Amino acid sequence: DQQVKQNSPSLSVQEGRISILNCDYTNSMFDYFLWYKKYPAEGPTFLISISSIKDKNEDGRFTVFLNKSAKHLSLHIVPSQPGDSAVYFCAASASLTGGGNKLTFGTGTQLKVEL
Amino acid sequence: EPEVTQTPSHQVTQMGQEVILRCVPISNHLYFYWYRQILGQKVEFLVSFYNNEISEKSEIFDDQFSVERPDGSNFTLKIRSTKLEDSAMYFCASKSAGTPYNEQFFGPGTRLTVL
């Protein structure tokens, strides 16, 4: 079940530069998309979300872009800071399928921001 | 800032034993979830709970699993007879009724080790 895919297991970026993390999905019923950050031995921390009726949402250094036709979203972090080093998970949910709005996660991308 | 808490942080048990994992969701939240992450794999949905009943469950959540909200604050996951393959990080999450984009807030997790 690969409904949400993050094809890059790792990404290394220099401090101050832009980090771009990518996510692809296959389920057309997904209408909410979220990014979570996770440090080792901690739970996922919510970062930013977007609805399928939008193509961009911005919150400080974090911007999420959604391309519905391509079933692709990306998270931009600018400028990148060493504290951003973590695993980033893309998640999606389908509100119209009823139930409890479960999140379907990707496999994560390990971001390393180097000095 | 309100947060989801989980106890214990680490539970070691023998195969076949029962375990109960405990969670205290954020106080005004109404939707509750359990997810798990087997080492090296993605975060997987187990069950969602609303209005004192299960609203959705995954194929993983078989008869060995149960959830309960025994009082106004705790939310528990019980595994009746643990198997080796139940070893994973178990995350509790909660969500408020007014969440626009299905943002779920996660606890720090319980690491379950089945020997």
Tell me the mean pLDDT per 10 residues along chain B, length 115.
92 97 94 94 94 93 94 93 97 88 93 97
How far is residue B109 CA from its own chain's centroid? 8
Residue A73 touches chain B, beta carbons under 8 Å: no
How distant is the Cα of B57 from the closest Cα of chain A, in angstroms? 9
User: What's the CA gap between A6 and A74, in Å, rounded?
Assistant: 10
Task: Report CA dihedral (A108, B46, B110, A83) to the nearest 10 degrees.
Answer: 20
The pLDDT value recorded for residue A10 is 97
Euclidean distance between CA atoms A48 and A29, whole angstroms: 20
Output the DSSP codes for B23-73. EE--TT--EEEEEEE-TTS-EEEEEEEETTEEEEE-TT--TTEEEE--SSS
Q: Cβ of A102 and B33 within 8 Å? A: yes
Q: Return the pLDDT at A113.
A: 97
d(CA B33, CA B56): 9
How far is residue B10's CA from residue A102's CA, in Å, rounded to a whole number? 25
Decide if A106 contacts A90 (C-beta within 8 A): yes
For residues B99 and A94, which has the higher predicted lDDT (pLDDT)?
Answer: A94
Averaged pLDDT score across all residues of chain A = 94
Interface contacts A/B by beta carbons within 8 Å: 75
Closest CA to B95 of A49, A2, A31, A86: A49
Which among A41, A99, A103 is the nearest to B104, CB-wise? A103
Q: How many CB atoms lie within 10 A of CB B13?
A: 16
Cβ-based contacts of B48 with chain A (< 8 Å): 99-102
Q: Which residues pair with B37 in a beta bridge?
A: B43, B89
Amino acid in the structure at residue B58: S
- Among A8-22, A87-101, B89-103, whose mean pLDDT is lowest? A87-101
Nearest CA in chain A to B99: A49
Query: Are A35 and A90 in contact, with CB atoms under 8 Å apart?
Result: yes
Give the range among A8-12, A76-80, A94-98 with minimum mean pLDDT: A94-98
Tell me the nearest-neighbour CA distance from A26 into chain B, angstroms.
Answer: 17
